[in-house]
Amino acid sequence: MISNDYEVFHVKDFVIQEKTLYHYHDFYEIHCTLMGTAEFYLDGQQYLLKPGSVIFIHNLDLHRIVKQNSDFFERVYMFITPSFLKKRSSKYTNLERCFHPTGRTKSKIIQTDPEKLRYYLSLIEAPADKKEYGLDLMYEQQFVNFLVYLNKLVMNEEKEVQPKQATENTLIEDLMNYVSENLSEPLTLDDVAKEFFVSKYYISRTFKSSTGFTFHNYVLKKKLLYAKQLLVTYKNSNEIYLQCGFKSYPHFLKCFKKEFGMTPKEFLKKHHTQEVVFFDHHQA
């Protein structure tokens, strides 16, 4: 562990598609492509990554590497807690600026100079020896300098990467978008099949093979992630469960506890006290 507030990973191994499951974090992620190309799914859209691509992944947004296109794919990704960015920000410099939503989109991808990106990343690649006086603070300052650089890129409106026009299965992408836009609805398989004029059995089979989730589990996960966002705003689970499409509070409570290992009240307490986040490592 570099810090309880952030972690940095430099990866050069081949992406194994079966291991890159759709996942999310309670913290932010920044993903930088240095060499090679890959397809990346982010919150309902699919993008082509190439050297210089930087992804700012908002907490709770589902994402994964769909496939590697080149023989070699080098990337650096880092996990950062929102509390760290707040703590190291100032009145004039908000380090969370790069994660601010743009319209309906929270996460974003920009394209920048690959060599300049590699230079900044080289300064934070090797974690500091905490036993030597001052090196931990010097390393963290380099990390903050990198965050300042990235925020400036976003504010200067570097070239934003656009979603691919065609994906391997446009139905799956359309279904994911439909779910994201209708989280307050029941979203049963029967209802969605009627909406898309396809067999519910085809949706069930295709969705599972493409995403690793059953359609029901995907909808439930999205609803519960949405519930987390609403809890932070409303502070009361009794006020939000209907907005997430749950018919009863006991059912919502049971699902929330099963997914996150805590009750909504316990989640709010942890969020308020900003307890230490344990970074779950996924292939990214």
Question: Which residues in the chain land under pLDDT 50?
Answer: 1, 165-167, 276-279, 281, 283
Residue 155 and residue 33 share a domain? yes
Q: The CATH number of the domain where 240 resides is what? A: 1.10.10.60
Alpha helix (H) residue ranges in the chain:
82-88, 114-122, 135-155, 170-181, 189-196, 200-211, 215-234, 249-260, 264-273
Query: Do 47 and 144 belong to one domain?
Result: yes
Domain final residue, candidates 115, 136, 160? 160
Confirm whether 146 is domain-assigned: yes
62 and 149 assigned to the same domain: yes
Phi, psi of 132 (to 5 degrees): -90, 125
Same domain, 109 and 242: no
Which of 45, 44, 58 is closest to 99 using CA atoms? Answer: 58
- In tens, the pLDDT along 119-135 reads 999 999 877 777 889 88
Q: How far is CA 231 from the centre of its chain?
A: 18
In a domain, 232, yes or no: yes
Same domain, 181 and 127: no
| Pair 215, 193 in one domain | yes
Handedness of CA 231, 54, 22, 187 (dihedral sign): positive
Is residue 165 included in any domain, yes or no? no
Residue 125 placed within a domain: yes
Say whether both 126 and 197 belong to one domain. no
The structural domain count of the chain equals: 2
pLDDT at 158: 62
Q: What is the pLDDT of residue 278?
A: 45
Q: What pLDDT score does 215 carry?
A: 94
Token code pair at residue 17: 């598609």
At 277 the pLDDT is 46
Q: Which of 160, 195, 230 is the last residue of a domain?
A: 160
Q: Are 22 and 273 in contact (CB under 8 A)?
A: no
Question: What is the pLDDT at residue 25?
Answer: 85
What pLDDT is stored for residue 104 in this prediction?
Answer: 63
Strands 28-35 and 53-57: antiparallel
Q: Is residue 228 part of a domain?
A: yes
Q: CATH number of the domain at 55, please.
A: 2.60.120.280
Q: Do residue 10 and residue 151 come from a single domain? A: yes
Same structural domain for residues 68 and 207?
no
**Residues 226 and 117 reside in one and the same domain:** no
Q: What is the pLDDT of residue 131?
A: 80
Q: What is the structure's pLDDT at 191?
A: 94
Rounded (10°) CA dihedral 217, 218, 220, 222:
160
Query: Which of 152, 143, 205, 146 minimizes the C-alpha distance to 175?
Result: 205
Question: Which residue type is seen at 274?
Answer: Q
Domain span at 26: 6-160
Whether 86 maps to a domain, the answer reads: yes
